[in-house]
Amino acid sequence: MKKNIKKRTHHNPHDYVNQHTGEEFEKDTEMFTEKETELMHIKHKEFFQVSSLGWKYLLSQLTDSEIVKFLTTTSCLKSEFNICFNSNRPHTTESLCKLLGINNDNLTRFIKQMQKKGLITYAISVKSGYEGKVYMINPYISAKRNTFHRDLDIFFNDVTKTVDKQRNNG
């Protein structure tokens, strides 16, 4: 869905008078004008974002095929726990294998590599409300929202800080 963006300018009500009565407007009167801009807003129902430092981290740490698998995994995130979902339920090992087009052994290897790099965890998160283990993605790298449960800090660090350090030292 696309929508044109208008610029809203607020005005001080004491700078204007009511044309019918000649009196000043009340101080709590909200006055503004709107003007069309050349910008538009496109609202996507399905999206995910990768921070620019997150992208640099991925490029420095992963192979091209690992990046594709990781981004495919992050394309189905939901909840304040950044959980990988298969429609309305968290992904299982089997459904994630199917999504990525790999077998169970390759998925296990991939998840372990991502865990070592601080990108994915496969753990029980009681507060998420789901029984059993779930796949969670590091929200400092990729997400579909901006607000998360603070318990994610138990599972993840901001690994993008290493990109800043590498850039400043290099």
Q: Which CATH class is domain 49-163?
A: mainly alpha
As annotated, the residues of the chain forming the CATH 1.10.10.10 domain(s) are 49-163
Residue type, 52: S
Report pTM: 0.71
- Confidence check: pLDDT of 55 > 70: yes
Sequence-separated (6 or more) residues with CB below 8 Å from residue 17: 23, 24, 25
Mean pLDDT of the chain: 85
Partner residues linked to 33 by β-bridges: 9
d(CA 165, CA 102): 35
User: In the structure, what pLDDT confidence band is assigned to residue 1 with cuts at 50, 70 and 90?
Assistant: low
- Confidence check: pLDDT of 166 > 60: no
Output the pLDDT for position 5: 76
More confident residue, 107 or 145: 107
